[in-house]
Structure 1
Amino acid sequence: PDSFDPLVGDDYFAYCKNTIMHIRDQSRCGSCWAVSAAEVMSDRLCVQSKGKIKRQLSDTDILACCGEYCGEGCRGGWPVKAWEWVKENGVCTGGRYTAKGVCKPYAFYPCGNHTNEIWYGECPKSSWPTPKCRKACKFGYRKPYEQDKYYAKNVYVLPNDEAAIRKEIMENGPVQAVFDVYEDFRLYKSGVYKHTQGRKTGAHAVKIYGWGDMRISNSTHTFVVRYWSIANSWNRDWGERGYFRMVRGEDNCGIESMVTAG
């Protein structure tokens, strides 16, 4: 189809809408590789179980325990390694900072000024330190850590092919993608993002959950802008209530060249 949005209407993955809608907050830690991996795994667990398993999986478990295999924790890591680690070791349940009824909630509070989020405190000047790996659930959670785990059955990187990525999302659920971040992305407020100016400042991992077309008209022409629908992990105050749209089919910032799923 021309558009696919599980958050609108009940046509697609209606039984997983609340899971897919969940926007995370990575706080002042370069954990996007673990956060978006856990998000996509949570969504796929729901989609592939036809809505029977609705659990948020723990980004902190991956961030803290994957260690050097995945990269440098809060200083960045490799999404595909996160998947491979979960295939081998499993990942326990998680959720937002202070989440109840889960094994390992997120390690860091949402920091800095928020309008829609609870105020916890200022951000540290540089970054939070990577949390220590604890092979145990938080105090009071009844299930033992090893019994709380879910595993990836397989792991694969999709070809750089917009149609193949759409097919994968429609059949099996959201996917994880990595793109190069340029200065102009920091200025994003709404609409469809396309890199036009500024230097490269790093890379970022996110969840692609759908796509669509937007018609833009001026006095003489009507253009169709094709886009991906993407969930970020910078809380709901950022962008379009935590989401953003990026131009589709042009490998903008490399968004289509490193797409991981399982």
Structure 2
Amino acid sequence: MVGSLNWFVCILVLISAVYAKPWTYPEDVERATYLFRAWKEKYGKYYPSFRVEDQKFKVFLGNLKVINKLNDQHKGGPEFALNHFADISPAEFRSTILMPKRVPPKFEEERYIKREVVDRAPESFDWRSKNMVTAVKDQGSAGSCWAFSTIGNLEGQWAMAGKKLTNFSVEQIVDCDGMEDVKGGNADCGVFGGWPYLAYQYVMKAGGLETWEDYWYCSGLGGAPGTCEVCPAPGFNDSLCGPPIPYCNMSQSCVFKLNKSKFVPGFKVNTWKAISENETVIADQLMQIGPLSVAMDAELLQFYHRGVFSSYFCSKTKLDHAVLLVGFGVEKGLFETKDYWTVKNSWGPKWGESGYFRIKRGDGMCGINTAVTTGVLGA
């Protein structure tokens, strides 16, 4: 009887541990003030005046409540915690870090790679272990994720071709890519968002890419040293992108900065391909092709900390963020297993799981399977 009771107690403890809140932050002003001070020191945050700092504290306090609510809603699932986005509201996060929400593009049938899935996929796979993925970058306060996603794919394609893994220039695409798809209602709009499939077309037209070191990223530095005042790219479509930033520094524009003599020798994009929404096919193509560019609804990822993300509250048809699919796996828990994708983000290495996140695989979570593309390199 005693043994049975002890066993019952152990089960209760395990259940409590699984479903306990991973984070519960104080929501009163006094304790939140101490937490805000510690958070500022950790992330090196400084504000130009007491007035601005007071405004930021109010946002911070509101975000503590947001994080507590998210952890309560996702018990036993992903965990959410304070990070460097804690002083911007969810609304500001959507308007500066994410892109305007848009529906997945429709591609012609011939764009899709056609290949039957013959072999059963392994339980896990990860291109990072095969040196096909560069280090995590930080887009800063700009909606330039689409360029990071494109470049991540092309870096992988270059390495897959047997070349040295190279950091290609994201800023070149942000500054210079004014491609448009008028029929589809899409365009590449610099810091206001864009599409990887159009970015491949820009690289094809330009004839190549410079390296990150030769054409370094400066769009999203938020006024820090090295920040550039980005001018609209040649061909910027006002009707599809909206009005450009009213001020810019032409000496920092694509026209002045692009140097084709510094294009990486031998690098050329011949075309681009799309991949089926079937996630079994996506896993197969990921293993065959290399890291893939994908888009999704990332509104709820602002405070993601770790775990396999899944939510009833994200959209499968309204996308606002582009990222890089690098692998997949299975998380085996006490009561269930979770199939997931491993995804490289562009919010810096201190965000999430060292700059990466995992998201549920097999259910089209947050639309991650709806705009999967890859560039195709030529000889």
Q: TM-score, normalised by structure 1?
A: 0.76
CA shift digits 1:225-257 (9 cap, x unpaired): 000000000001100010000101110111001
> Per-residue deviation at 1:134?
3.1
1:7 aligns with 2:128: yes
2 CA distance for matches of 1:225 and 1:208? Answer: 17
Q: Which consecutive unaligned segments of at least 5 residues does structure 2 have?
A: 1-121, 181-186, 230-244
1:58 aligned to which of 166, 169, 173: 169
Partner of 2:94: none
Partner of 1:11: none
Residues 196-215 of structure 1 aligned to structure 2 (within 5 Å): 196-197=312-313, 203-215=320-332
Partner of 2:306: 190
2 CA distance for matches of 1:260 and 1:198? Answer: 21
Partner of 1:107: 218
> Per-residue deviation at 1:199?
8.5
2 CA distance for matches of 1:179 and 1:149? Answer: 32
Q: Secondary structure at the match of 2:125?
A: coil
CA shift digits 1:109-158 (9 cap, x unpaired): 6559xxxxxx8699x9xxx98862136557xxxx8245757321220111
Partner of 2:138: 25
**Cα distance, 1:196–1:172 mapped onto 2, change above 3 Å:** same
1 CA distance for matches of 2:372 and 2:275? Answer: 5
1 CA distance for matches of 2:319 and 2:367? Answer: 12
> Per-residue deviation at 1:42?
0.7
Partner of 1:77: 194
> Per-residue deviation at 1:202?
6.0
Residues 1-262 of structure 1 aligned to structure 2 (within 5 Å): 1-8=122-129, 14=130, 17=131, 19-47=132-160, 49-50=161-162, 52-69=163-180, 70-95=187-212, 102-108=213-219, 110=221, 132-134=253-255, 136-137=257-258, 144-145=261-262, 150-182=267-299, 184-197=300-313, 203-217=320-334, 222-262=335-375
* Equivalent residues of 1:194, 1:246 under 8 A apart: yes
Q: Secondary structure at the match of 1:26?
A: coil
| Residue type at the aligned position of 1:60 | E
Q: Secondary structure at the match of 2:336?
A: strand
CA shift digits 1:157-201 (9 cap, x unpaired): 11101121111111121000000123x322211001112337999
> Per-residue deviation at 1:53?
3.1
> Per-residue deviation at 1:55?
1.9
Q: Secondary structure at the match of 1:260?
A: strand
Q: TM-score, normalised by structure 2?
A: 0.54
| Residue type at the aligned position of 2:366 | C
Q: Secondary structure at the match of 2:322?
A: strand
**Cα distance, 1:91–1:63 mapped onto 2, change above 3 Å:** farther
Which has the larger share of strand? 1
* Equivalent residues of 1:58, 1:104 under 8 A apart: yes
| Residue type at the aligned position of 2:355 | G
1 CA distance for matches of 2:168 and 2:226? Answer: 25
Which has the larger share of helix? 2
1 CA distance for matches of 2:170 and 2:215? Answer: 8
| Residue type at the aligned position of 1:33 | W
> Per-residue deviation at 1:93?
2.5
* Equivalent residues of 2:210, 2:262 under 8 A apart: no
CA shift digits 1:54-109 (9 cap, x unpaired): 222111111111125342210111111011221232332232xxxxxx43111246
Query: Aligned pairs, how many?
Result: 228
Q: Secondary structure at the match of 2:127?
A: coil
Q: Secondary structure at the match of 2:199?
A: helix
* Equivalent residues of 1:93, 1:149 under 8 A apart: no
| Residue type at the aligned position of 1:90 | G
* Equivalent residues of 2:127, 2:291 under 8 A apart: no
2 CA distance for matches of 1:168 and 1:230? Answer: 15
* Equivalent residues of 1:46, 1:53 under 8 A apart: yes
**Cα distance, 1:187–1:144 mapped onto 2, change above 3 Å:** same
Q: Secondary structure at the match of 1:67?
A: coil
Q: Secondary structure at the match of 1:144?
A: helix
Larger Rg over CA atoms: 2
2 CA distance for matches of 1:181 and 1:21? Answer: 22
**Cα distance, 1:179–1:20 mapped onto 2, change above 3 Å:** same
Q: Secondary structure at the match of 1:155?
A: strand
1 CA distance for matches of 2:288 and 2:194? Answer: 28
